[in-house]
Amino acid sequence: MSDFETRNKYFDRLFNTPGLRWMGQNTNHLPLPAAVKQAMIDSIEADEFRAYAPPLGFEELRAGIVDDLGLPGAIAMVTDGGVEALYHLCHCFLKPGDGFVATDPSWKWPIAFSRAVGATVTEIPIYDERCGYSLSAAMLERAVDDKTRLIYLVDPNNPLGSCISADEMRGIVQIAKRLGALIVHDCTYRHFATDHTLAARLYPEGTLTIYSFSKWLGTAGLRIGAVVGAPDRIARLASAPPNNLGSNVISQRAAIAGLKMRDSWFPEVNAIQRRNQARIKKAADAIPGFRLPVYPSNGNFVVVECIDAGVRPEALVAAMQEHGIMIRQGVYHTARFGNRFIKVSTTVPEAWAEEFCSLLPTLIEQARSMNDVPELF
């Protein structure tokens, strides 16, 4: 069977596994505010989905996203998730031979999109205690040249959970300005961070900020996100977009309702996921060779290192799946460092995190003796 068919069947099987504990894709499985579900029901009952939404999104949603980021002067283009914005901007702003710079680890898809355009990809290794598992301006300086056109920052970093400091962000922005390069600031996990600096505040004319509802609001399957930037950049993206007939109407209604509930609902979600992080840290610290390189994580997930325990991440992922728990193997994010770790999502009911922690010691033993690990994606 071809690779893409195998991958699809893999996710289809997971999706159709009743009661699967989703702890591998940073999705949010804590209860949604009732108002968000009601907004979707109301939209369906009003038959709203019979018509196309406005091409850039409902005005109320566009304004709400810009307001949530606190970026006056910028405008939003609503997209079918942040990933569509990333795909589109790579195709819009890159041409063959342009330089695309990302970190390693990072989120792999924009790297694939820019390679597909013919850009030259440079990945700066940041899985290193000495740089605080984060990109510094000095590291970026060594990686760029006059062909660098786009700098892709996943911040908070998925999978590491580290954030770029305000000082380093200032230096990074200076480099981008000097080169006339775009910064694509992927802020998918910003709501979970304790301290986060928006590149767009320092470099509004050259930053495209990626916004997602999938993780903080917990609407991954609704496919709703945005790209936010200066009007001339968005105008370029708006000239021939893949979703020129607008994004899903029901999803947009959910997102609008979610923004209204954010202040009253989200702090408790973040408190729960931080408690889950603490549980996982305690369980990992009790196992020789296991550790959390970044703690607390600024995302809704943690990297759990298992290399020093002689455990293969893939074997541990497979063992957890046999118990109905989906976690992620490091190679999904990085070929270079992927043998070091698993990644575990924390926006889940506390009982799920408890179950993961209590199974961990036994499943490590099972993973050690596993010879045939099924293919994972």
Ligand X SMILES: Cc1ncc(COP(=O)(O)O)c(C=O)c1O
Q: Which residues bind ligand X (CB under 6 A)?
A: 26, 81-83, 107, 154, 158, 186, 188, 212, 214, 220, 225
Nearer to ligand X among residue 26 and residue 273 (C-beta): 26
Pairing relation of β-strands 75-79 and 225-229? antiparallel
Nearer to ligand X among residue 179 and residue 329 (C-beta): 329
Q: What is the dihedral of CA 16, 17, 22, 27, to 10 degrees?
A: 10
Nearer to ligand X among residue 197 and residue 360 (C-beta): 197
Nearer to ligand X among residue 209 and residue 276 (C-beta): 209
Nearer to ligand X among residue 179 and residue 334 (C-beta): 334
Query: Nearest approach, Cβ of 227 to ligand X (angstroms)?
Result: 10
Query: Nearest approach, Cβ of 154 to ligand X (angstroms)?
Result: 4
Asked if 364 and 287 touch (Cβ cutoff 8 Å), the reply is yes
Q: For ligand X, which residue has the nearest CB?
A: 81
| Backbone dihedral angles phi then psi of residue 16, each to the nearest 5 degrees | -95, 15
Query: Nearest approach, Cβ of 187 to ligand X (angstroms)?
Result: 9
Query: Nearest approach, Cβ of 158 to ligand X (angstroms)?
Result: 4
- Whether cis (ω within 30° of 0) applies to the bond prior to 55 is no
Query: Nearest approach, Cβ of 320 to ligand X (angstroms)?
Result: 19
Asked if 319 and 311 touch (Cβ cutoff 8 Å), the reply is no
Asked if 306 and 316 touch (Cβ cutoff 8 Å), the reply is yes
Nearer to ligand X among residue 53 and residue 311 (C-beta): 53
C-alpha neighbours within 13 Å on the C-beta side of residue 369: 4
What's the angle, vertex CA 126, arms to CA 273 and CA 346, rounded to 5?
A: 10
Nearer to ligand X among residue 179 and residue 237 (C-beta): 237
Query: Nearest approach, Cβ of 30 to ligand X (angstroms)?
Result: 17
Query: Nearest approach, Cβ of 99 to ligand X (angstroms)?
Result: 20
Asked if 187 and 211 touch (Cβ cutoff 8 Å), the reply is yes
Query: Nearest approach, Cβ of 97 to ligand X (angstroms)?
Result: 25
Distance CA 254, CA 266 (A): 15
Nearer to ligand X among residue 213 and residue 356 (C-beta): 213
Distance CA 100, CA 222 (A): 29
Between the alpha carbon of residue 266 and those of residues 30, 261, 262, 271, 276, the distances in Å are 10, 8, 5, 9, 15
